[in-house]
A and B are shown apart, each in its own frame.
Chain A
Amino acid sequence: MRLGNAETIEGDHNSEVEARNLAAAVKSLQVTPIKPDDDDEEIVEEKKKTDEAEEEQTTTEPSIPKIPLPFVLDRVLLFDLEHIQQLRDKHNMAGTLIGTLPQIPQQNIFLGLPVELMPEESLYLLSRGIGYIVDDSTVHRCVQSEITKNDRAQILEKREAKKAEMVEAYLDGIKRKRQSALSKKGFSQEEIDAKEREAETKENIIQNKEEEGDDKTIMNSNLTKKKPITVSTGSYSLESAITYSTPAISKDNIPYYATSSSYHHNIKNAQELKSRAIKAILAQTTPAAFATYAYLNDRGYFVSPGLRFGCQFLAYPGDSLRFHSHFMVIGLEYEEKFDILSIVIGGGRLGGAVKKGMMIGGLKSKRRLNEGSLATHTELKESVELNNDWVDCEGDVVTYCVEWAGFG
């Protein structure tokens, strides 16, 4: 039973989560005693150290449940607006919107869900105990396989009810419009009522006919055959009254996903999948890049990918929605040698032209893993130990700024 294990990983004060896990344990009739969490105090202490600027929140933070980080293919993609908002508000993390904004799909300026996190961002959330990795493909496969006929009927029923509602609202709208049009023309209230009754009987006849023909006309979503309802304001078809929408998160349309936090830990090979995911994330970055990222994030900077300016990161002094970025950042090992040309061309000149400083973060005295905050996360520790480069991946970062002097 993985439950006890999961609990230590979570290191969570949240009674709700505990209750949920307990319930799950009871359900599976294998109650395991929940281990006392030694890690908790460490986490809080760590938080105090790192989040000096956010001191007020330290006290409230433990009550916030950890954010699940859905891992798909080899990236972390966020779909839940609540989580995205939370990261932006509390953790200086914006991520990158990569989807199409459905309202205006034919443009690339304002994008929509999901939010992709940089590997450094995912790693930061893991190492600070803010989030936990979920292998979303596997979770969905599990959820999918457990959909029973009953569930299906329920889901579809809800869907139909929603459709019926939309049709009703639509017809109501037409009715109101008709009435106001008539009253504008100077008809008295009685006359309007009379007309209304007339129209209603008409509608009823049509509706009855439909119901006779097929009780599930709407339900079948076979709306192509439907006859338009003729009303005095013109010709409308009920098809245009119905909209089909796709929810962003699975929680909203699959009942199981709502309780999936227990799922996340209880699926087969959960540990294996998690460490595979973390290894994939580690492979996409370097200890120096991550240390530099963490250094900047801890100091209140919003950090975004730096591809547009040919560097690793862009550092914003606050929310990137409101502020211009100040620095083009490259994270290196302190003793790492690099080409002087890369400063002149890559950073200095371009940075000068776009009014940004070029920042070089040097990872200096590395802390051993067991001292660093990475150690507070059991899963991460395991994965990190598999990969030697990462054994001491956090430490003191010294930053240097290069500016194009422009003499002459």
Chain B
Amino acid sequence: MDPAEEINEEDNIRNVQETEIDLSDEQQDWRFLNALSGSNNSTLPKRGEKDFEPDGTGVQDTILAESRNAMFEALSGERKHSGKNHIKAIWFPEFQQAMVDVARGPHFKSIGKADSKGKVWLQPEEIMYLLDRGSMECWWPEGVPMSLQATYATCINVLGGIEKLQVYENLKRNGYLVIRADTYHDDELAAALESITVDDTIEQVEYTRTVTKTRCFSSAFDLLWSEILPSIFRFKQWANGVSPLTPQGPVARRKVYRSFDNVYEDLQIIPCHKPPHTQEVADLQLQSRPLQHQPFSITFNVWKPSPTFRKATPPKPDFAVVVISARDQKMPTLAQTAAILDTRPVELKMKDKSPIMRLKDGWRTVVFAVVDAGIISYMKIGDVGFADEKMYIKPPAKTGPRKPYKKRQQKPKPMQS
């Protein structure tokens, strides 16, 4: 589905009905859209039609001047909405949120949170988004409308990084439904704590150590896996004439190899990461982990547009986005990434997918949005079990009748910068 279709019908140039247009600005708007959609090539900087370098010709200067003028003209466009859809919000510095006078229009399907009195309250990024696109007015508590500059200066101090606003707006412009995650402020908390901790590398090593330890013996279930089952297996091996694997070898432990499967099996001597395939296993792992504030946490939950979406009872999010500032933060370490992935639900549908898809998508996923001075780059990180997929086993021969792989439905529009 084209996300653009979902949002405000008023914004959709294809759906504009004549009766809905404010006649006085109809002309102006269309001229504008024509210029921007590229039918008037001379005025618009289109991608991929640039020159190599300045050659000093008048033609080039003229085109550049026109491009600049078109841009500045576009930038001086008003942020406005018709009185019919007028929305007014008042900023409350005490709550660091804005209250909407009368919440109407399609935006409030996914934006804002209603209190017990039915008044809708907006977070700073939601205020900025609605204001930026001209769908709302924001007022000082003193009863005077704010400018865009004033709103930025006033509201975003509590945002915890302008990158978060940029990612929010970028996703909203692409048509996604975006709501703050519960862990929105966790990274700031961690940053505050970090200034207290002396050496976080030691802490990190400590962290991984406890993880590996607790992972092994956290429950009877794990004990079964890590101790009892292998011992049974070893007994079986011994009965079959397979000598046990010692640190000194040998790798080829059987007297006779009758299939390649056995060869590959015996070659698997390097321990490797296995992502949890069920939520229960994942929960057990999470419980055994010491609670710790991570410098990275899920910032936004993101949904593909859906007509049945309800902000009060949202479904499971389609994506979880972690906002990372390229200027202030380093790429998350393996331990930090693992900690983020641990908070994500296991994708249960994954077991019905083909091995290749499982390797591509991973059992748990998170999206990193890296922001550098206003430019955003999205990366999908998946918890992938390469050791889980035995590529030497031919699917039909070994696993018997299997559901034919359903052709995947059209992939969601990839997020791009």
A residues apposed to B, CB below 8 Å: 70, 72-75, 77, 79, 81, 84-85, 88, 95-110, 112-114, 116-119, 136-137, 139-141, 144, 147, 151-152, 155-156, 159, 166, 169-170, 173-174, 221, 223-224, 237-254, 283-285, 304-308, 317-319, 321-324, 326
Contacts and interface: CB of A to CB of B under 8 A. Distances in A.
B49 to A, nearest CB: 9
What is the predominant secondary structure among interface residues of chain A facing chain B?
A: mixed
A371 to B, nearest CB: 28
A321 B71 contact: yes
B51 A113 contact: no
Interface string B131-156: 11111011010111111111111101
Contact of B80 (A98, A245, A249): A245
15 contacts: A70-B153, A72-B156, A77-B162, A79-B147, A96-B375, A98-B169, A102-B79, A112-B75, A152-B143, A170-B23, A221-B86, A223-B83, A243-B78, A246-B146, A252-B147
Interface in B14-33: 20, 22-25, 29, 32-33
A322 B60 contact: yes
A285 B173 CA distance: 30
Contact of A98 (B32, B50, B326, B374): B374
Interface string B60-83: 100110011001101111111111
B417 interface: yes
B24 A170 contact: yes
B54 A101 contact: no
Interface in B96-145: 102, 129, 131-135, 137-138, 140, 142-145
A81 B72 CA distance: 7
Contacts of B161: 73-74
A163 to B, nearest CB: 8
B126 to A, nearest CB: 13
B373 interface: yes
A247 B60 contact: no
B81 A244 contact: yes
Nearest to B53: A317
Which of B143, B159, B327, B373: most chain A CB closer than 10 A?
Answer: B373
Contacts of B159: 73
B75 A243 contact: no
Contact of B22 (A72, A240, A250, A319): A240
B11 interface: yes
B251 interface: no
B201 to A, nearest CB: 20
B339 interface: no
A273 B84 CA distance: 43
B80 A116 contact: no
Contacts of A140: 149-150, 153-154
Contacts of B51: 322-324
A283 B159 CA distance: 19
A243 B25 contact: yes
Interface string B37-55: 0000000010100111110
A75 B162 CA distance: 8
Given A81-B75, A308-B377, A322-B50, A104 B60 contact: no
A190 to B, nearest CB: 27
Contact of B78 (A88, A102, A108): A102
Contact of A323 (B53, B82, B88, B371): B53
A105 B72 contact: no
Contacts of B29: 103
A238 B25 CA distance: 14
Interface in B145-181: 145-154, 156-157, 159, 161-162, 166, 169-170, 173-175
Q: How extensive is the interface on chain B, given as a class? A: 35 or more
B148 A246 contact: yes
A139 B147 CA distance: 14
Given A104-B36, A308-B375, A253 B147 contact: yes
Nearest to B48: A324
A387 to B, nearest CB: 16
Nearest to B78: A245
Nearest to B133: A105
Given A106-B173, A223-B86, A113 B53 contact: no
Contacts of A84: 72, 75
A70 B148 CA distance: 13
A139 B153 contact: yes
Contact of B162 (A73, A242, A305): A73
A97 B86 contact: no
Contacts of A112: 74-75, 77, 132
A102 B131 CA distance: 9
List the 10 shortest-distance A-B pairs measured between CB atoms, nearest first: A96-B374, A245-B80, A105-B133, A242-B83, A307-B372, A102-B134, A239-B83, A100-B132, A136-B153, A140-B153
Given A100-B129, A140-B154, A321-B68, A74 B78 contact: no
Contact of B152 (A114, A169, A323): A114
Contacts of A326: 53
Contacts of B54: 317-318, 323
B298 interface: no
Interface string B359-386: 0000000000011111111000000000
B68 A319 contact: yes
Contact of B147 (A137, A250, A322): A250
Given A107-B173, A170-B24, A306-B372, 9 more contacts: A97-B75, A99-B132, A108-B174, A136-B152, A166-B24, A244-B81, A249-B149, A250-B146, A254-B147
B190 interface: no
Interface in B318-373: 326-328, 370-373
B86 A250 contact: no
B150 A254 contact: yes
A241 B77 contact: no
A254 B149 CA distance: 11
A244 B80 CA distance: 5
A96 to B, nearest CB: 3
A159 to B, nearest CB: 7
